[in-house]
Amino acid sequence: MNTTRRAPLLAPSFLAADLANLQAETELLANSAADWLHFDVMDGRFVPNISFGLPVLQAVARYAKQPIDVHLMIEEPQHYLSAFRDAGASGITVHYEACPHLHRVVQQIKQLGCRAGVALNPHTPVALLEDIAADLDVVLIMSVNPGFGGQAFIPNTLKKVAMLKELLLDSGSEALIEVDGGVNMDNAGPLVEAGADVLVAGNFVFSAPEGPVATLARLREHLAGLEIGTEVSTRRQ
């Protein structure tokens, strides 16, 4: 086992937060084990749901202490990249399935000074990223079908993360592997063992009886107990 592996980053998803009290939720997470704050944007077209957008991100960013990781589940994301950067995004992830000119969109994100990520739906093979892997900062693997929180984790994700890790190593890419959907105490360890660097968790964090801060601390302790890595990541920006 590689005991020098970078410790995984934890990214609570605001999709599951108390939307009537986002300032309080953001301030609560400021001194938690959260490394990023995950912000899901849905347009009702690319996915069958509508979540929140630029005004809400601006409001959250005023109180956020961690980098905000924006996941655009929208059609034609290239038209909104600069607006999301200006609203407070540190990283912007677009979907492979929504971008016929993906390389151009990735370069746009990088030119804005943001971390550039590409998300893959559960049915999309990781091999499709082979020609662009070296340009990416993040690859987000959807472990549920995008559009709704609270879905069950798709077990094949573990195999998919391992395949992606191999692809990134072969291409010389330093991209982080992020996993979003159904992440909990049962699958977090196996995901990191498979190669995941960033774990997005929504309902597991915000619906826990002990609250998000204690739940994130428990998850951090659980992962440390598995000896999956002792090196603290410096890639928080």
Give the residue numbers marked as catalytic.
Answer: 40, 180
Task: Determine phi and psi for 166, rounding to 5 degrees.
Answer: -65, -40
Task: For residue 81, give both structure tokens.
Answer: 């990249």
Is the CB of residue 150 less than 8 Å from the CB of residue 108? no
Cα separation values, 120 from 30, 70, 160, 186, Å: 29, 15, 10, 22
Cα separation values, 77 from 13, 135, 149, Å: 20, 18, 21
Nearest to 74 by CA among 110, 101, 38, 49: 49
Task: Quickly list H helices, the chain.
Answer: 22-29, 54-61, 81-87, 102-111, 157-171, 185-194, 203-206, 212-225
Cα separation values, 34 from 51, 141, 168, Å: 22, 19, 25
- Give CA–CA dist 164/193, Å, rounded: 13
Which amino acid is residue 87, in one-letter code?
A: A
Residue 153 CB burial class (10 angstroms; 0-12, 13-18, ≥19): middle
